[in-house]
C-alpha cells in the first residue's frame, strides 16, 4: 500500500512491469496487515507499463508490482485537490498501520499536510474578517 498520502506517478523507462491495483469494493477505510485482508473485498485492475508509458495512482492504493523483464521505472509523488479526501485517509492509515502495510514511510508528508491545513485555515479566517 502506498501510504504516502499523495498521488504517485510512475514512468517506465525501459522494458515492462505489471502493475496490479486493488480497488476496495466498500471504499477506502483503515486497515491493518495483509493477513487481515479478504481478497473478495477488492476489484483487481491490471496495467502493463511499457516503455514511455505513465501511470498515476490515488493515495493509499493497495498495489503490487511484478517485473516482466529487467525493467527500469522512475516516479514520484504529488498532491491534487480533487483527491484530498483520499489523501487524508491515506495519512490516517499510515499513522495507525504504516508499520504493517507499507514498504516505505513518508514522515515529511505529515509536515506538508500540516502546512496545507494551516494555510487553508488562515485563508478561511481572512475571508471571515473581510
Q: Are 59 and 112 a contacting pair, CB within 8 Å?
A: no
The larger pLDDT score, comparing residue 109 to residue 128, is at 128
pTM to 2 decimal places: 0.62
- pLDDT for 42-51, tens place per residue? 899 999 999 9
Which residue in 74, 57, 76 sits closest to 14, CA to CA? 74
* Poorest-pLDDT segment among 5-9, 36-40, 96-100, 120-124: 96-100
User: Which pLDDT tens digit goes with each residue over 10-43?
Assistant: 999 999 999 999 888 887 666 656 666 788 988 9
Average pLDDT, stretch 56-77? 89
Distance separating the N- and C-terminal Cα atoms of the chain = 43
Cell, residue 91: 495519512
Q: Residue 61 and residue 28: Cα distance in Å, rounded?
A: 9
pLDDT given for residue 117 in this prediction: 79
Amino acid at each position: 500500500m502506498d501510504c504516502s498520502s499523495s498521488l504517485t506517478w510512475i514512468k517506465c523507462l525501459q522494458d515492462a512491469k505489471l502493475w496490479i491495483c486493488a480497488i476496495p469494493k466498500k471504499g477506502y477505510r483503515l486497515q491493518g496487515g495483509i493477513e487481515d485482508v479478504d481478497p473478495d473485498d477488492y476489484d483487481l485492475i491490471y496495467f502493463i507499463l511499457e516503455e514511455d508509458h505513465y501511470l498515476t495512482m490515488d493515495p493509499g492504493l493497495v498495489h503490487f508490482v511484478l517485473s516482466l523483464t529487467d525493467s527500469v521505472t522512475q516516479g514520484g509523488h504529488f498532491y491534487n485537490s480533487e483527491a484530498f479526501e483520499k489523501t487524508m485517509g491515506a495519512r490516517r492509515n499510515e499513522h495507525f498501520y504504516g508499520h504493517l502495510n507499507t514498504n516505505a514511510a513518508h514522515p515529511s508528508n505529515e509536515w506538508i499536510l500540516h502546512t496545507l491545513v494551516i494555510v487553508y485555515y488562515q485563508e478561511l479566517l481572512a475571508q471571515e474578517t473581510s
